[in-house]
Structure 1
């Protein structure tokens, strides 16, 4: 039987529903990584399936194509997951709209514009990984246009993109730390030097990290505790094994990202936090 979820003080962040009174208050969040359907990642078919299963959070990637349109896509090149080839940045949206993502037949899906996804589910929150510098301007424009400040989190391995987003928006949105902040947390934390990061940590709301990076174990009980003391949530990616999901949740992590939607839904159901919509 799963142990009760540990509570700790949270910063009040509109995007993070576990920080406010309601069914998810002080409960772990479930994220569908790229829609949690690797056969057709980052497509409306994958996103709809995840939402129907009960997911409230979708993790997505965005890139800028040649005409400035923001598209939901992970790779720099089209070759791995689509019927096209070459860099996304060299194609117009008109060209990309004719491609298909995923397996042949009924699983094949069209590519998705970020604005289309932003408008599709009014009560679903989007964890948005900005994959190129050019994405910042259009991302900000769309958030302002749709007044979606409370429904999006800006993520990027590149901390500078997060800074650019924050400076351009008229209202704050949730953000996660990039590689620099996360690395400093991992390396300086055990030395008791987190005080040197105070300014950086107040600019972010969570860290989104893998369990390990190479030989270095990132997510440990002490790492989670240090982040919590700094007011940060810990979201872990990408976790597909139910046993590991339970171990991480027992450790006190605040969210899990998965490619196996059914597995995470069942784990959350066992812990009485499902569905999350």
Structure 2
């Protein structure tokens, strides 16, 4: 079953998807905290974006960095620390939440999970099966190898975004299009992904534009853009046809979508 024909409950949503990036990293509670995710859910966000690392004893943490020191009062690399050691760290006055904590605390939410290290793959596979949460997640990664391992574990039942090599091949194919041209599906590279999750640009190189979105629409790939914090940029990308926006600024995106009549 190809990604072009597969349907995932995760992507079943009317209108553009609003993602709370790290729970709303620009909010008052601190990124990737239980309080941040609660604020997001209370604000009306159903889609929560987070990252996952595993401790040395296999406990999955919702945390972005490999090391603790940027956002906590502790130091050290997560993969070499035990869960008990990491449990002493605080983001403000909160512990780092586990991925199990989040899935349990917000049973109606859907999670976009960025797999940060190879040692997360086994524990995450076990957790998603144990909590029957496969339909609630989309797995992303900056590593094609980690994505391949997650896909191998679950097959087409798992929603995944395109890895770096897949995304580059698809973007490069879209460069051959003329503005306004509708591409033929057979001229675009097949992907094992169910969606594309991309930055709007890399330096001076525009990534998400009308050609990329036209190519994605041809093969039924939703395009989610990260991390967009200015209202004008949100409006521009939505006007182009972006299918989702990831943001640190929850109120800004909600206001933009509400004005457009697409907040859901």
Tell me if TM exceeds 0.5: yes
1:110 partner SS: coil
Aligned alpha-carbon RMSD (Å)? 1.9
The corresponding residue for 1:52 is: 42
Q: Quote the Cα distance in structure 1 between the aligned partners of 2:120 and 2:151.
A: 13
Matches within 5 A, 1:223-262: 223-262=212-251
Is structure 2 residue 174 aligned with structure 1 residue 189?
A: yes
1:169 partner SS: helix
2:49 partner SS: strand
Deviations, residues 121-178 of structure 1 (Å, cap 9, x unaligned): 1110000000001111111101111111110001001112112112112771110001
The corresponding residue for 2:16 is: 28
**Which TM-score applies when normalising by structure 1?**
0.86
Is structure 2 residue 77 aligned with structure 1 residue 92?
A: no
2:214 partner SS: helix
Measured at CA, do residues 165 and 80 of structure 1 come closer, stay the same or move farther in structure 2, by a change above 3 Å? same
2:118 partner SS: coil
Matches within 5 A, 1:164-203: 164-169=149-154, 172-191=157-176, 195=186, 198-199=189-190, 201=191, 203=192
Per-residue deviation, 1:191: 2.8
The corresponding residue for 1:5 is: none
Q: Quote the Cα distance in structure 2 between the aligned partners of 1:122 and 1:100.
A: 25
Q: Quote the Cα distance in structure 2 between the aligned partners of 1:211 and 1:257.
A: 11
Aligned length: 253
Is the contact made by 2:50 and 2:112 (CA closer than 8 Å) also made in structure 1?
yes
Per-residue deviation, 1:10: 8.7
Deviations, residues 153-211 of structure 1 (Å, cap 9, x unaligned): 01001112112112112771110001111111122222369747644x1x111111111
Pick from 74, 79, 95: which aligns with 2:69?
79
Q: Quote the Cα distance in structure 2 between the aligned partners of 1:101 and 1:151.
A: 26
